[in-house]
Amino acid sequence: MAQESENALQRKILDTARRLLISDGYAHLSMRKIAKEIGYSATTIYLHFKNKDQLVHTLIEEGVSRLHGRLLSRFNQDGEGVRKRLQNLCTEYVIFGLNNPEYYEIMYMLHPERLARYPADKYRRARKNLELLACVYQEGVEGKVFQRLDPMLAASVIWSNMHGVVSLVLSKRFDAGLDKDRVIGESIERVLRGFEPEKRKSSYL
């Protein structure tokens, strides 16, 4: 069928694009290279994707759901305290970013111009990752492990902290002499501490 061959080629384009993205980085990803790799002319890609941005958006979505898979498996891994669970989610996020720098770059570091027409339903998918953090935070609020606060706000603050450390490591902005693992560990630790309840007037002392 026409549609099936269309889908097959579409998948081939995406697979090649992903491979080139990971091997050469986003800066070197070009329509012409993808085309050459799959043995078609560059214009053929435009029969399956409106433009390069749309192709990249598909890769972003892929990245988002890969990350979601990682976070979800951590999320479902209970048996530990709420604080430890949130900490694990943070660690998982950082690990994903450092292990998938090219995915991370297009997902969270690309200039917004490239995302201008990023479809709303894909944004919603991305938010699901934030909601995992928010959910655990809310649990923590109920268990008096964290201060009462809008969970999505708290999740956003935690996320932006994780993003800061990941993106600075990826873009090599930290001092060479600095132990990156310590910065990452301290980042997670400090921001979580920041949400813990004041213990000053603890009643049991």
The residues of the shown chain that bind DNA, judged by CB under 7 A, are: 2, 5-6, 9, 29-33, 39-44, 46-47, 51-53
Give, as ranges, the residues between 46 and 105 that touch a copy of itself (CB under 8 A). Answer: 105
199 binds a copy of itself (CB under 8 A): yes
Give, as ranges, the residues between 129 and 158 that touch a copy of itself (CB under 8 A). Answer: 130, 149, 152-154, 156-157
171 binds a copy of itself (CB under 8 A): yes
Residue closer to DNA by CB (options 49, 75) is 49
Give, as ranges, the residues between 14 and 53 that touch a copy of itself (CB under 8 A). Answer: 25-27
Distance CA 64, CA 62 (A): 5
The label of the residue with tokens 């109920």 reads 142
Q: Name which of 18, 160, 162 is nearest 97 in CA terms.
A: 162
| Torsion angle of C-alpha atoms 131, 132, 136, 138, degrees rounded to 10 | 10
Residue closer to DNA by CB (options 113, 198) is 113
Q: H-type helices in the chain, by residue range?
A: 2-24, 31-38, 42-45, 52-75, 82-99, 101-104, 120-142, 151-170, 180-195
Distance CA 30, CA 153 (A): 38
Which range of residues in 54-62, 86-94, 137-145, 188-196 is near a copy of itself by CB under 8 A? Answer: 188-196
Long-range pairs of 47-52 with CB within 8 A, sequence gap ≥ 24 = 48/6, 48/9, 48/10, 48/13, 49/10, 49/13
Residue closer to a copy of itself by CB (options 44, 88) is 88
C-alpha dist (Å) from residue 131 to 4, 16, 74: 36, 31, 14
Residue 135 near which of a copy of itself, DNA, none (CB within 5-8 Å, type-dependent): none
Interacting residue with a copy of itself among 115, 122, 128, 139 (CB under 8 A) = 115
Residue closer to a copy of itself by CB (options 3, 182) is 182
Interacting residue with a copy of itself among 29, 108, 132, 133 (CB under 8 A) = 108
Residues contacting 13, CB < 8 A, separation 6+: 34, 38, 45, 48, 49, 55
Binding residues vs a copy of itself (CB under 8 A): 25-27, 105, 108-113, 115, 127, 130, 149, 152-154, 156-157, 159-165, 167-168, 170-175, 178-179, 182-183, 186-187, 189-195, 198-202, 205
